Amino acid sequence: MLAALWLLGGAQAASATPMATADDSHSKLALYGETVSVAPGGSVWLGVHITPEKGWHTYWQNPGDSGAAPILTWKLPAGVKASAPLFGAPHAIRFGPLMTYGYEGPSTLLVRLEADSSIADTLPLHLSAEWLTCADICVPQLAELDVTLQKGAAKLDPDNKSLFAAARQALPEPSFWDASLKVGKASSDLTVFMAKTDIPDVKSVRFFPAFEGVLDYPADQSFAFTQEGLTLHFPRKPGAPAPKSASGVLALYYDDGTSAHYEMTPKLDIAADVASQAKGAPSSLDTLLPQAHAGLPIWQAALFAFLGGLILNLMPCVFPVLSLKAFAFISANNRSLAHRRAEGWAYTGGIWASFMVIVSALMALRAGGTAIGWGFQLQSPIFVGLMTLLMVLVALSLGGLIHIRLGVEGAGGSFAAKEGMQGAFFKGVLATLVATPCTAPLMAPAIGFALTQPLLVVFTIFTLLALGLALPFLILSYSTRVAAMMPKPGAWMEKLKEGLAFPMLLTAAWLLYIFDQQTGSAGTLMLVSAIIVSVFAVWLWQQGQGRVLRAIALVCGVAALVAIVRVPTPQDHQAAKTEAGDVAYSDAALNQLLTDGKPVFVYFTADWCITCKVNESLALDREDTRTLFKDKGVTVMEGDWTNRNAEIAHVLARYGRAGVPLYLYFAPGKAEATVLPQMLTYGILKDTLDGR
């Protein structure tokens, strides 16, 4: 019966007239209106119609063991509000040991828009839709639709009449039977107070709970008629949470192949030993900071963020700034403890402020529909070019060729507290900027979790990440023992300051490599020329107070910045690596390999990710590793995220990551990936491929 309704819905959609449509990689979405206008104080029904590719499926409001329900986010004009979507009756979809609930064909979600008497003549609507489509693998799908309704008497659209009729026919009917659900520690029992004569020809029965904790999804559901009525017995997983509600859909399958579906909310009776497992009433803080959907508690995400920030101090991307911090400690040895502590907090403030700016930009771009993640700014050649210029200017200032106040000048002498504060804050900003290409252990799950949560959670997690990165400097700022152990300032510090220019130049060289990978040789030539002009502008500015000289310097500086901003469009770097024989990642290519039953190793990297490059050098770009892959018949796929790529961003999000690196191994015949550690070695690869 359901299959017939899905086919009917697909046929009706083919003859209907959509208001707007969107195609993604493995499905299509169309928005239909039952009427083309809405009266003041009236309503209009919209149909969100999703059609997956053949062999793929989408999900019900409770997806079961895996999957995700569609998410519809509306931007509506004043005086208009949208109801929660109505889902058609689900189908049980078994995949190996798992059981999911969803639709193996087209499905329509019905949404009611209600308008008050104050609506305007024209009503622009915007729909942001997210849904998951799965076969052997799962691929997130996205759509952004804009449509317009007119104010006026509601008049049915004749082209769409059949589509909405089919969508309503697919909805479960309201149940006219009372029911009760008893939830025990190991099993649940649903009693529907009906007579056997109500459903004399029923062959089988299934209950689809709307909330987790009622039953073990893949387990058999037994039913029988008792004196009270129809009774269903469900096994439960040990330690499953207490369900929030007993609501769900009762499916009745008859001997003649037909079926009927009834929506019901039984009276809920939870056993004491199950209720004790449930958490108590949430505090105000718990309400503001909800638990992670993927099973990562907030306290664990917060701990991971703090420890990840602490470990980040040891990552190679932060080494150039570590040298500046060490110099700052020596320079501040003749300062009072109060001043050193103030500078410690200024450095911490620089890190925290930088993290907040980055995450605010990230969240704003994501709200606009852009698929980005951690380190996203390094996917912009303009940002990389400006960072390269900054590193060169810092290096030349440290070397004494030009003079820019960094808070590390005046070695061996006293300098104003204000300058010290500014320098400490600047070094905190610099530490954050050069740290973003790295993802330390424990950082990835914390960041991936944070970026799926409300804003308060996002800023809390990133605040702890900032504190972890700043903690060593902050502790040393409070330590009198460390201050006593440091050498006395003197003339020798000028040479040390000049020597610190070279790590900054190495950072500039690395950034220049990233820029070249993104824009090609023409863009690199433009950047190098702009850097030379910028240095000339700074030098010219410092030659005297003459207005003409400074005007020329200002023109040169502006021209250099304009040249960096107008770099060529990034080139596509998703081609296969011919030397290593790697295959460029795509969802379609991976799906085909998994369908053929071949083992696949996928690594997601970026030219600006230092952690990725270290792993590639130590573990991937080795003759014994290539031999291992060849002997095991493993196809190696590379996902290059140097420039923005929505398909790769979706994969990272699917595995709870906000950035690279990510390493996945699909064993032969397995659709589920083994996620390897972020710090990779040949031994880890060999053990994984050997199944250990």
Residue 590 contacts residue 600 (beta carbons within 8 Å) = yes
Sign of the Cα pseudo-torsion (618, 620, 623, 624, in order): positive
Q: What is the structure's pLDDT at 292?
A: 36
pLDDT at 33: 92
Query: 535-593, pLDDT tens digit by residue?
Result: 888 888 877 677 777 788 788 878 877 877 766 544 433 333 334 457 888 888 888 88
Provide the whole-model pTM: 0.45
The DSSP call for residue 333 is G
Higher-confidence position of 385 and 297: 385
C-alpha 344, offset from chain centre: 32
Number of other residues whose CB lies within 10 A of the CB of residue 612: 28
**13 vs 658 pLDDT, higher one:** 658
Catalogue all structural domains in the chain, each as residue range(s) with its CATH number. Answer: 2-171 (2.60.40.10), 179-275 (2.60.40), 298-565 (no CATH), 583-689 (3.40.30.10)
Diameter of the chain by CA atoms? 103
What mean pLDDT is reported for the chain?
78
Q: ω before 282 within 30° of 0 (cis)?
A: no
pLDDT, mean of residues 398-422: 51
Structure-token pair, residue 304 = 């991971």
pLDDT digits (tens, 9 = 90+) for 83-111: 999 999 999 998 777 888 999 999 999 99
- In tens, the pLDDT along 115-148 reads 998 899 899 999 999 998 887 667 778 899 999 9
Give the C-alpha separation, 483 to 369, whole Å.
50
Which has more pLDDT, 616 or 371?
616
Alpha helix stretches (DSSP H) within 133-292: 161-170, 272-275, 284-288
**Range of lowest pLDDT (172-181, 239-248, 545-554):** 545-554
| Beta carbons of 649 and 371 less than 8 angstroms apart | yes
Q: Give the lowest-confidence range in 147-156, 174-183, 221-230, 651-660.
A: 651-660
Please give the residue that has the higher pLDDT: either 185 or 409. 185
Distance CA 344, CA 230 (A): 70
Task: Check whether 636 has a pLDDT greater than 80.
Answer: yes
Kindly report which listed range (221-230, 276-285, 667-676) carries the lowest average pLDDT score.
276-285
Of 100-104, 175-179, 232-236, 406-410, the poorest mean pLDDT is in 406-410
pLDDT at 278: 45
Lowest-confidence pick of 52-66, 221-235, 468-482, 577-591: 577-591
Q: Which helix (H) or strand (E) holds 191?
A: strand 187-192
Q: What is the pLDDT of residue 407?
A: 43
